[in-house]
Structure 1
Amino acid sequence: MRPQSILMFERLFLASLALSLVGFAISYQAAVDALTSDPAIQQLGLGGGFVLGAAAVGYAMYLGLWYLIAHKAANWAKWVLVVFVALGLTSLRAAFSGSWGLTSVLNLVVYGLELAAIVYLFRADAKAWLSGEETGDSATFE
């Protein structure tokens, strides 16, 4: 049985992925336009397929980490996710420098959900479960 903190992590993290996917769908054409306007990229022939492929790889990695953390209790995956989210937060300043729109707000909410999800991974019941320890408090488990 999984602890309540892991369940909350799962809900928050999957909500962040869903909102991120909505944001990607909204900004897809702008990303393709920005990519194809670069002459160096035009020579490589990269376009919409590359944007979709890169997004698919990113979402697959995040889904894999979610599964390993929430269902397989892989403590190492928690730390990989922490590093990925921390690296993603470095781009938060750039998101605020441009004009504010729906995608900016969605990105801010996604970062908030990711951070909240990660906080749940550091609660006592989640730490015990991820390290393979048995806990005697059955109220913290589903």
Structure 2
Amino acid sequence: MTIDTSSYRRKMRSKQARVNLVPLIDVIFTILIFLMVTSSFQVAADSSAGKPQVSQSSGSSEYYLFPVTGLKTVTVNGVDMSKDIRNSAIAIHTQVIDEGEIIIKPKEGSIIITTPAGMSPDKAVNIPST
């Protein structure tokens, strides 16, 4: 009795390897759900909207440089202070950073600043020192 190896070879060559992705996707989603359920998230103790705290700042400067590409206008409490712009940057007082509001609109090339009570627009911004 002879063994027909040629038909066996043809049969093996004609079969394509098939990968079933459904179990793989099920395993990945199971791992993802496990990681989401077992993760623990903590809320920051002080939510200061991203403003640096006094202890986080380095240096003793009274003004900090705010560079904005294509900066054209700076408005402080409705007063145009664009004359203080140098090289697309402006220096803003630390008290404005801590207690005021700064809105940067990079697409328009403008910064809108609201100072704390009692601060003049001339003191809020300054010409950057080079």
Question: What TM-score comes out, normalization by structure 1 length?
Answer: 0.20
The structure in which a higher percent of residues are helix is 1
The structure in which a higher percent of residues are strand is 2
